[in-house]
Structure 1
Amino acid sequence: MSSGQWEVVGKNKKSQNGKVKTIKEDEKKPTRNGPKPEDVAPPTKSYYAGMEIDDPKANGKKASKNKKKAEPPKPKPPKTIEGAFEAIDATELANIITTNKIRFSNAPLVWLKEVANFLNSKTQIEVEDPTFSTQDPLYPLSVLPAEIKSSLETVLSDAGKANAQLFFDVTLTALANDMSRGQLVNGHRLLLQMLALEYPEFCVASLQKSASLRNSYQNRPPIGLSLLWAFGQGGFSDFSVGLKAWQELFLPIIELKNYSKYVVGYLSQLLDRHAKMDATVSQEQLLAMFDMVNSKKGLSKDMSSDLMKQLSKYKDIYFNKSGAKLQVTFNQIIKKLPNQYLSGSNLDPYNRVLVESLVDCLQRDDSCNATWRQLFHRCPKQSATLLDYIDSNWAQISPKLKQKSLKMSVTQYKEISVETLKGKKKDETVVKTNKICQDILDRMTSTRRFPWLWASFILLLGIAGLIAYDVSTVNGNFPKSATGRLLNDLGILEQSQRAWQKSLSASARGYLWLETNTPIYYAQAAEIAKPYGQLSRDAFTVGLKKAGILYGNIKDYVVEKTPVVVATIEHYVPGLVDSVVGYTTMGYEVVKKYSVEYYQFTSEYLKTKVFVGEWAPEVLQNKTQSALNVTRFHVSSYFYWLRTQVDVYSAIP
């Protein structure tokens, strides 16, 4: 350092003879500023694995452009679930399933979880509507490619039903947890849907646990709706499962604003899908549904109206498969109506469905009229509501009901109303229902009665017309007619002619008078005789009712005692009943056989021996038609002539 030169510190390079090699001047230049750029810069070309690679920095823009051209274009991510399904490699899925089956041969749940993770990773699509309300009810399974669907069905089947059910419960929880963490769960949705459609009972196997899971997330609508969607998938395969899920898991939260639309919409889908299939509803389910729907009062007007429409569909399914024994159903439903008279706008949608159900009972089981009459004293105002509905919708309802039974019921109810009106306090309901009953009876009472008076008068005119026709055949010369010759032989021809002219004149004027005044007097006579006719009809109705009760009692007695009698006979004379039944059956078969044979023989004989030639059916038909045409022509001519004669003779003083 004393010489002002930099010295190299370290080992000196020695020559072969051990002397120190001196450093040249150019090697002693200071290195205070570090090495030169060219000393540390990488070469323009390098070699890697035997391949020559251009350096981007050295080649500049040209190298950058060449590298961009060499990269393949990146595929665009799918924007829909359908596109994501189409992009899944079926071979890759099959390899994952096979690998996991080999590695975890005794752990089917691991296979299924790996499949769920794979599907979630391949379907990273944001779902705005977790219930897919605008899609097919079986969406997204309905758009899944067949090859992928087959692989998933195989792995679910290989896992076994017990493991599949456990996986279903686990996946429900995973669906909620992953959504709460902001993850996409389309794979979970797909597998839950497949399991629910294959094993519908999974959806209602753990109702308490499902309800608890729903309650935990009901304040987060996307998660809550996703859970409801999963619970309801089994209903599209099994109506009873869907109905139970709706009643236990959907209906309790129908009053929540974010859920009411989907709850009602799911019930509509369920009923529409199964209405034309083998869906059945028991009486207990119907009554329970009425009670559950009536307990939900917090719905908006539109939602309440839609729910009542679904309730009407539900009761139609019950009545379409209920059979003909509906007395108990009628008894239970009429008691659900409020104990007050409802009419017109006072009949809300729920009570309207109840009244429609009562009409369905009366239509399908006529014995419900007897049950209804027994309830008049206990349910008078409910019965008044039903009568008012029948009267207000008479054109639609009357063809469905048996007029005779309905008339009996209305008549009896009117009698009860009249008894109530006799009291000091006249209830307005009783007054109104009495008018309704009378209106219904007037509708059912036929206004076309046989006109006996007119018939008698026309008969007399007919006789007179025949005599007049007899006279006209001899050009009006009465003495030469058959009637005139008869009277001449009797010695009363002259008196008969005068009487004949007088009778024709009086009859013609009387006919014209009656034609004008009879309707007036007939109406007055009908009004006077109406109470007596009503009394007669009531007496006949009561007698008929008593006879029907007597017949029913005798029938029930015979039905009740027949087994006892048969058992007694069998006890004392074993085999007698069977023998009688056997001989009776044999005799019936013999009679049936020979009756058929004789019928065929007789029919063939008549066809080949009797109804031939002039007696052939075609000839007889033509002759009959000709006779009818001639008769019709003569009758028309006669009545025209008779009316002309009436006008002529009415002018004679």
Structure 2
Amino acid sequence: MAASSAAADGKWKVVGKSKKGGEKRKALGESNGAPTLASLTAGVPVKSSVYELGFETIMKKQNKEQVPPSSSSTETQQNKKQQPQQNAGKQPKRNPPGGSSILVQGKFQTLEEALRALDVGELQREMEKSQNMFPENPQIWLKDLAGYLNFKLQTVKNEPLTLHQSHDYPYCLVSKELKSVIRSVLAKASSMLELLVDHCLLSMLQELDKASGTDSVHGYRLCIQAVLLDKPKTVTLSLKKYLDMLRDQQSKPLKCLTIMWAVGQTGFVDLTEGLKVWLGLMLPVLGIKSLSPYAISYLNRLLLIHSNLTKGFGMIGPKDFFPLLDFAFMPNNSLTPSQQEQLRDLYPRLKVLAFGATPESTLHTYFPSFLSRATPNCPPAMRKELLHSLYECLNLDPLSFSVWRQLYTKHLPQSSLLLQHLVASWDTTSKTMRKAVRETVQSFCVTNEEFSAKPSHSKDIEVCESACQALLQKMKGRGFPWFRFVLIALVFLSGFVIHDIRTSGSFQASSSARILQQTGVLSASQQAWTKVTHYSQHGHSWLERNVPVYYAQAVDVLGPGLETLWEKSRDGALYTVDKCSIFLTYLKDNLPGFIQWVHAQIPESVLHFIEYLRDLLLHLYHNYVVPAVVYCVAALQRVWQRYVDSCNGEVTWDCTRDHLTSITQSSWTFVQNTTLAVKDWAVAMMSSH
């Protein structure tokens, strides 16, 4: 019932006697004179737990029935407490037996020095002792591990939590032996990993509460990274807990950044879990002045590390995507212009993640929010992006048209902007989309007529009606169908010849033969056919005689060399395919990041030049090419009208045949006259010389 414990002033007080029947156990390090792991975390205030109560029971049993020390020994003990630690790398000192154990750990200049000075063998022995003493309490092993590492890895300067270092810093500095010890302990207590993360995080937050002399927290950071880089889902199942913790500490930026850093470690090994953390923990605090830079920088690093965005498909939905759109493009929000610029650079990749692997079946869910934001008063950059996204929705997902028809009357100003955008981009619109646009515009015209009949109709209806009429005019104003015209002409001509032959009984008795005979085409074609037949037969006979001889000689002379060349070529092809597969894999992994880097390095002037060149080409197309095509079409229409008038207003086969005969005869006469004129001129020139 009576046991003694050392008080802070060196005197002894009588307390209650310990329970009988309890087996005496020695604390960690008592047998070899080393400091106990319980004392390593004594400076960290924690709630009563099995970890704390276990060591308390041991100390009570150890101090049972001790006598009070003499005054001289008390003074000696106090003097030794006041002696400073002279060497940072030396082992911590113990007070003489009979007094309380007080650890004095020196601080290293850098974390690398502290890690080099850490005795991995001693850590492993201490962990084995902890596991033997508390075999049923794995949470005590984990707390011992965290406390030991944090005690041994004290540095002069406590490094801030930034994203300028490697994403796995400081865990990347740990040796393989130390990582092996840490992982073995974590593997034996795999069901308590979330408790370890919470313990380390709370300990880091408590260090920030100290007014001065804050100790380093490298050990806690190493434990958090060791857990989350191996088991990233440890914290994502309870993100709401960390979000509530973040909101409670909102007035303390350093604590908020500590929470964001700790939970954010899970994203560097798994894009899906990283997006869960960013959307569930960092997006709600985006806009807070002290936390926004870290949230945006974390998202940038997350998307740079995971260049393959397909693993994150399905994580961003409309409710998460459109707040990001507003943050990136809406002016006068809680982000600074530079932060908005960073978010706009990330926006294309966020858009790919939001639309997912099958945009043709999901974009209609984004269409209403895009349309409601595309007002005439929205900023130009945002309006351009919204109209481009709306056009993409209509082009890829046909269900967007039905959604637009339902929202048309409620969003007339936005619909007028989208209709005008369709007019401007009509030339690049696909045929499938043109058909859907035609049906949608026709339904809009009916709605416009109904609204226009009302006396209190708005001006938006008039703007939409004019845009619809412009679209209908674009649909009608197509170019001359040359392909159809030529195809119809060939079919018509073939039908005429076949009908003429069947009516006349034979080709020689047909009108087609007489026309060809009169124009000389038949005799010329017969002569050409005779020559072609003669030379073909001559060439065929030559090939029959000479090809076998030449082939045999070629086989004898070139056969061995060709076989060797074939073998070498096959080996070279296999080698090339192997190297190309490695190169293609490398390109697949690194090309997206390279493209993003090139895009970031391209000067703004080059982009402006490309935009200017595009405008110049559009100007030439609209002002020169289109008028020329219109003029040619009008000329062809006048020629056709004259042809119809020459046939007395009705185009018949007899009239067409007469015109073809007249044109053929006049063309042949012109060719003959021209030939004779050239011949006479040539004879005259030769005779004059």
> In which range does the TM-score fall when normalised by the shorter chain?
0.5 to 0.7
Q: Does 1:268 align with 2:334?
A: no
Aligned to 1:385: 417
Aligned to 2:147: 117
Deviation for aligned residue 1:212: 3.9
8 Å CA contact 1:200–1:241 kept in 2: the answer is yes
Partner secondary structure for residue 199 of structure 1: coil
8 Å CA contact 2:232–2:270 kept in 1: the answer is yes
CA distance, structure 2, for counterparts of residue 366 and residue 242 of structure 1? 33
Change (3 A) 1:470 1:360: closer
Aligned to 1:406: 437
Deviation for aligned residue 1:303: 2.2
Given candidates 667, 671, 674, the residue that maps to 1:645 is 671
Query: Where do 5+ consecutive residues of structure 1 fail to align?
Result: 1-70, 475-516, 528-637
Aligned to 2:235: 203
Given candidates 333, 338, 342, the residue that maps to 2:376 is 342
Deviations 1:312-352 (A, max 9, x none): 433422433346534xx525632553376438x74453x66
Change (3 A) 1:455 1:242: closer
CA distance, structure 1, for counterparts of residue 171 and residue 112 of structure 2? 10
Change (3 A) 1:212 1:372: closer
Aligned to 2:207: 178
Deviations 1:190-247 (A, max 9, x none): 1112222333333244445423432344444333212101111223344444333323
Q: Which amino acid aligns with 1:108?
A: P
Partner secondary structure for residue 408 of structure 2: coil
Aligned to 1:160: 190
CA distance, structure 1, for counterparts of residue 640 and residue 295 of structure 2? 60
Q: Does 1:303 align with 2:354?
A: no
Q: Which amino acid aligns with 2:193?
A: A
CA distance, structure 1, for counterparts of residue 673 and residue 488 of structure 2? 20
Change (3 A) 1:121 1:473: closer
CA distance, structure 1, for counterparts of residue 322 and residue 194 of structure 2? 32
Q: CA RMSD in A?
A: 4.8
CA distance, structure 2, for counterparts of residue 74 and residue 276 of structure 1? 47
Partner secondary structure for residue 257 of structure 1: coil
Given candidates 518, 533, 538, the residue that maps to 1:467 is 518
The within-5 A match list for 1:431-470 is: 431=463, 434-435=466-467, 438=470, 442=474, 446-450=478-482, 467-469=518-520
Change (3 A) 1:189 1:168: same
8 Å CA contact 2:441–2:468 kept in 1: the answer is no
8 Å CA contact 1:403–1:444 kept in 2: the answer is no
CA distance, structure 2, for counterparts of residue 179 and residue 452 of structure 1? 83
The within-5 A match list for 1:79-118 is: 80-82=110-112, 84-118=114-148
CA distance, structure 2, for counterparts of residue 643 and residue 91 of structure 1? 111
8 Å CA contact 1:341–1:429 kept in 2: the answer is no
CA distance, structure 2, for counterparts of residue 519 and residue 378 of structure 1? 42
Change (3 A) 1:73 1:295: closer
8 Å CA contact 1:207–1:248 kept in 2: the answer is yes
CA distance, structure 1, for counterparts of residue 244 and residue 301 of structure 2? 25
Question: Greater CA radius of gyration, 1 or 2?
Answer: 1
CA distance, structure 1, for counterparts of residue 271 and residue 431 of structure 2? 29
Change (3 A) 1:246 1:441: farther
CA distance, structure 1, for counterparts of residue 342 and residue 259 of structure 2? 23
Aligned to 2:247: 215
Change (3 A) 1:454 1:331: closer
Change (3 A) 1:88 1:407: farther
Change (3 A) 1:469 1:120: same
Deviations 1:617-652 (A, max 9, x none): xxxxxxxxxxxxxxxxxxxxx999869639959x9x
8 Å CA contact 2:272–2:311 kept in 1: the answer is no
Partner secondary structure for residue 298 of structure 1: coil
The within-5 A match list for 1:1-150 is: 80-82=110-112, 84-125=114-155, 126=157, 128-131=159-162, 133-150=163-180
8 Å CA contact 1:193–1:233 kept in 2: the answer is yes
8 Å CA contact 2:412–2:460 kept in 1: the answer is no
* Count of matched residue positions in the alignment of Structure 1 and Structure 2: 418
Change (3 A) 1:298 1:93: same
TM-score, structure 2 normalization: 0.50
Change (3 A) 1:224 1:417: same
The within-5 A match list for 1:190-589 is: 190-272=222-304, 273=306, 275-281=308-314, 286-290=317-321, 292-293=323-324, 297-322=333-358, 324-326=360-362, 330=364, 333-335=367-369, 337-338=371-372, 341-342=375-376, 346-349=379-382, 355-391=387-423, 398=429, 402-413=433-444, 416-417=447-448, 427=459, 430-431=462-463, 434-435=466-467, 438=470, 442=474, 446-450=478-482, 467-469=518-520, 520=634, 522=636
Partner secondary structure for residue 222 of structure 1: helix
CA distance, structure 2, for counterparts of residue 226 and residue 246 of structure 1? 15
Deviations 1:131-165 (A, max 9, x none): 3x12333333234222211111111111231x222
Change (3 A) 1:119 1:418: same
Q: Which amino acid aligns with 2:338?
A: D
Q: Which amino acid aligns with 2:202?
A: T
8 Å CA contact 1:362–1:369 kept in 2: the answer is yes
Partner secondary structure for residue 304 of structure 1: helix
Partner secondary structure for residue 113 of structure 1: helix
Aligned to 1:486: none
Change (3 A) 1:360 1:152: farther
Change (3 A) 1:146 1:321: same
Partner secondary structure for residue 429 of structure 2: helix
Q: Which amino acid aligns with 2:459?
A: D
8 Å CA contact 2:310–2:357 kept in 1: the answer is no
CA distance, structure 2, for counterparts of residue 80 and residue 313 of structure 1? 38
Deviation for aligned residue 1:367: 3.9
8 Å CA contact 2:452–2:461 kept in 1: the answer is no
Partner secondary structure for residue 269 of structure 1: helix
Change (3 A) 1:439 1:86: farther
Deviations 1:102-141 (A, max 9, x none): 333333333222322332234334355403x123333332
Partner secondary structure for residue 337 of structure 1: helix
CA distance, structure 1, for counterparts of residue 88 and residue 669 of structure 2? 105
CA distance, structure 2, for counterparts of residue 244 and residue 307 of structure 1? 18
CA distance, structure 1, for counterparts of residue 231 and residue 87 of structure 2? 45
Q: Which amino acid aligns with 1:104?
A: F
8 Å CA contact 2:285–2:292 kept in 1: the answer is yes
Deviation for aligned residue 1:394: 6.2
Q: For structure 1, which segment, 89-98 or 233-242, has the greater mean C-alpha deviation from structure 2 after superposition?
A: 233-242
CA distance, structure 2, for counterparts of residue 372 and residue 202 of structure 1? 43
Partner secondary structure for residue 208 of structure 2: helix
CA distance, structure 2, for counterparts of residue 374 and residue 295 of structure 1? 24
Deviation for aligned residue 1:261: 1.6
8 Å CA contact 1:410–1:441 kept in 2: the answer is no
Partner secondary structure for residue 372 of structure 2: coil
Q: Which amino acid aligns with 2:180?
A: S
